[in-house]
Structure 1
Amino acid sequence: MLGLLLLDSNSSGGGSKGFVTGQAASVAIGQNNFTTGVENNDGSGTTIAAAGVSLSSVGNACSSVGPRGASLYANGVLFVPDTGNCRTLAFNSVPSSNYPTANFVIGQADGTSYASVASATVSVKPVDIATDGTKLLIGDQSANRVLVYNTFPTASNASADVVIGQSNSTSTTTGTTSQSTFRLHAGGLTVSSGGKVLVSDNTRCGVLIWNSIPTANATNANLVLAKTNFTNVFAGYDLASCLNNVGVWTNGTKVLVADTGNHRVLVWNSFPTSNGQSANLVLGTTSTTSPASGSGNNLMNGPTFVTSDGTRIFVTDSGNNRVLIWNSWPTTSGAAADAVLGQSGFSGTSANTTATGLSNPQGVALINSNQLIVTDTGNYRHLIYNAQ
């Protein structure tokens, strides 16, 4: 992603400060305080309601429901996935107080509209957001596609220019395993500053790679990770396989994949050049023969999303209600994390609605070298952390 500087997808550069175990968040987007965790908060801690519309389908430009995926800070705008409300919230500056109002939304006509039928202007379930510095890409999970905007939207009701994974802007086909479609897109998406696009295909148990951002609908992918070909859908546990993978990150050289079903993160130290190329190492385990979940500083339980600045690694360890942080790029499998957010220590796994707690976090991104934003899915909010 492009943050304050031109850098890799969903990240920004290093800095002298760091994030420390158990630290409190500074800002909550979607909630009016740190101890409230209701969907579509009306600003007083009550869920917004509207006649004839389900509670999970009503919002305003401040609220959120079921958010998943990585946010993005680029061109001075913070883009935040509001998955359950079928939109992306856009803030023209990084919020500094709780319950901020978005300046505009992507995927809906305005900040109070709700539409859920796929089109060039409607996103069905937006998840990861990424950029090469010029174009904006949004992973639209339930529509089984990625939306490409050739220029950054600056107002609500923007229309996507290209669709990856579908032949047109209204198609939502699932279950196919061709070179240009997703079997079931998990929402995981990353783009390098050079334009390489990686998209997680959850039930194919693989990651599709385009060498450049497509300029036409249904463009064929160039490579697939965790599979030897584009039609194979079998899962596995070796260094060349995945099981229900979700999040993905690259800076054009290094690659990370959250191998959710195998409770680990796959790490490539150089960019893959062939289908099914093996990872160099894994985080969350030392085994390549048998998956096992756990906690502590070197095990995971259903990790979903991942980001990096090329040195530090951040993983939403969703089943353990925490974010694991490595302050340097690991060189061996099973390397221990250096810090944890959402818990007071590495042994904690409980969900909490506090400034220091998390509940099923599913999304993490660096705003800049000293600010991190975590998608706290179970608490219907996004938390901003300042490095200390």
Structure 2
Amino acid sequence: MDTIRLTAYPERWLGGPAPGGLALPPAQPNRIHLYAPRGVYVDDDVVVVADSGNHRVLIWYDWPKNDHAPADIVLGHPDFETEGPKLFHLPTGVAVIEGKLFVADAWHHRLLIWETLPKINNQPPDYVLGQADLSGTSPNRGGKVSPTGFYWPYGFAYINGWFYVADTGNRRVLGWRGLPDDGRVPDLILGQPNGYVNSENRGKGVGMDTYRWPHALAGDGNTLYVADAGNHRVLGYTPPPEIDRPADLVLGQQDFTQSFELPHVPQGPRRFRFPYGIALCGNLLAVADTANSRILLFTELPRKGAYHPASYVIGQADFEGMGENRWQAVTRDSLCWPYGIWCHQNRLAIADSGNNRVIIWRLEFL
């Protein structure tokens, strides 16, 4: 029996309104609109959104006091109306870590870092990970796969003193003890036998130690969770690994050797289709079940075993629902292809990509 009782409701909507709920919110760049956002970060002082389709990052200082509030700062362009790839090419993950702003500039194959939160529009980053310098934008630093290059780094996380990167195109997770601001090689490579190969599922098929598209990470001092989106599953390592090893937990599949996708049929509380986002909300594990347009919440933090059921669902009326906006109009509590998620205290922020918006939900534990 679950020991956590939960109610959840949408508290704030960032991005343009949906006219009558019958059309998607507008996406042209300005201080309000978003276009297919894939990443979001929230804390007590700031909201940061990877406005991926507009190739920019928006920052709101303080808590937005109303829906559709205008952003304060834009990064990647000189103003709020400019669009197209420049500094960023499809930014995805965003987070503030020890006062520094990190952005996964996925299609430029790098992470960009600002030493302090930017206070002016288009403020340049201070340094880069995954490239030799800030001018580099090629996969794997323009060469073959190596321990210090990236290929589509969609996600990252800082967990219990370890910094992790989901190096998606290289089908691996890289880990460093502490923040790797000195460009050193990673202390950990998960999903590949060494730093110089990048075969899908290690070239041997789906298993306990393989990835197809590792996309996002979350965890605590006891478990590291990896959203292996291409295999339609989440893997968990308990305790967090310090060397490459098999996972202890699989969610979304019946066992570690399966990667089934079941499109266009009711999914129930155990299956995923392309889980692109993951976050911890206290003793809840939240998974963005992206292609099913829902967020699944697991209580009591599953740590080992397989095929655990979720306890709660956000975005659908029940566990059988899997339609975009529940096959109806855009509403305040519907979802369409949610990607990145972030939890801070009792707020769950969802980059509701298909609806061109971010929805921040209030979680109340009873």
TM-score by length of 2: 0.88
Which aligned pairs between 1:91-102 and structure 2 lie closer than 5 A?
91-102=60-71
In structure 1, the partner of 2:335 is: 358
Higher strand share: 2
Residues 1:261 and 2:224 are matched in the alignment: no
Pick aligned residue for 2:21 from 24, 35, 50: 35
Which aligned pairs between 1:165-314 and structure 2 lie closer than 5 A?
165-174=130-139, 176-185=144-153, 187-192=154-159, 194=161, 196-216=162-182, 218-236=183-201, 237-251=206-220, 253-274=222-243, 276-294=244-262, 295-309=267-281, 311-314=283-286
Q: CA offsets per residue over residues 217-257 of structure 1, 9 Å max, x none?
A: x5422211111211222233211111112111234552111
The 3 A distance-change label for structure 1 pair 188 and 36 is farther
Higher helix share: 2
In structure 2, the partner of 1:379 is: 355
Q: Distance in 1 between matches of 2:355 and 2:166?
A: 25
Q: CA offsets per residue over residues 57-89 of structure 1, 9 Å max, x none?
A: xx11111112112x1124601111111112111
Residues 1:147 and 2:112 are matched in the alignment: yes
Question: 2:111·2:130 contact (CA, 8 Å) conserved in 1?
Answer: yes
Q: CA offsets per residue over residues 118-145 of structure 1, 9 Å max, x none?
A: xxxx222211112332222111111110
Q: Distance in 2 between matches of 1:30 and 1:313?
A: 26
Question: 1:132·1:192 contact (CA, 8 Å) conserved in 2?
Answer: no
Residue 19 of structure 1 and its aligned partner are, at CA, apart by 4.1
Q: Distance in 2 between matches of 1:68 and 1:111?
A: 18
Question: 1:66·1:377 contact (CA, 8 Å) conserved in 2?
Answer: yes
User: SS state of the match for residue 387, structure 1?
Assistant: strand
Question: 1:164·1:219 contact (CA, 8 Å) conserved in 2?
Answer: no
The 3 A distance-change label for structure 1 pair 111 and 318 is same
The amino acid across from 2:274 in the alignment is G
The amino acid across from 1:184 in the alignment is W
In structure 2, the partner of 1:65 is: 35
Q: Distance in 2 between matches of 1:323 and 1:75?
A: 23
The 3 A distance-change label for structure 1 pair 161 and 36 is farther
Q: Distance in 1 between matches of 2:236 and 2:96?
A: 21
Residue 179 of structure 1 and its aligned partner are, at CA, apart by 0.8
Residues 1:348 and 2:315 are matched in the alignment: no
Q: CA offsets per residue over residues 23-44 of structure 1, 9 Å max, x none?
A: x5232211225826536x3xxx
Question: 1:18·1:370 contact (CA, 8 Å) conserved in 2?
Answer: no
The 3 A distance-change label for structure 1 pair 246 and 178 is same
The amino acid across from 1:189 in the alignment is F
Question: 2:44·2:62 contact (CA, 8 Å) conserved in 1?
Answer: no
Residue 181 of structure 1 and its aligned partner are, at CA, apart by 0.2
Pick aligned residue for 1:18 from 3, 6, 30: 6
Q: Distance in 1 between matches of 2:138 and 2:283?
A: 38
User: SS state of the match for residue 316, structure 1?
Assistant: strand
Question: 1:133·1:193 contact (CA, 8 Å) conserved in 2?
Answer: no
Which aligned pairs between 1:152-163 and structure 2 lie closer than 5 A?
152-163=117-128
Q: State the identity %.
A: 26
The amino acid across from 2:279 in the alignment is T
* Aligned residues between the structures: 344
Residue 193 of structure 1 and its aligned partner are, at CA, apart by 5.8
Pick aligned residue for 1:320 from 283, 292, 297: 292
- 5+ residue gaps, structure 2: none
The amino acid across from 2:89 in the alignment is V
Question: 2:209·2:247 contact (CA, 8 Å) conserved in 1?
Answer: yes
- 5+ residue gaps, structure 1: 1-15, 42-46, 49-58
The amino acid across from 1:200 in the alignment is A
Question: 1:130·1:191 contact (CA, 8 Å) conserved in 2?
Answer: no
Residue 385 of structure 1 and its aligned partner are, at CA, apart by 0.9
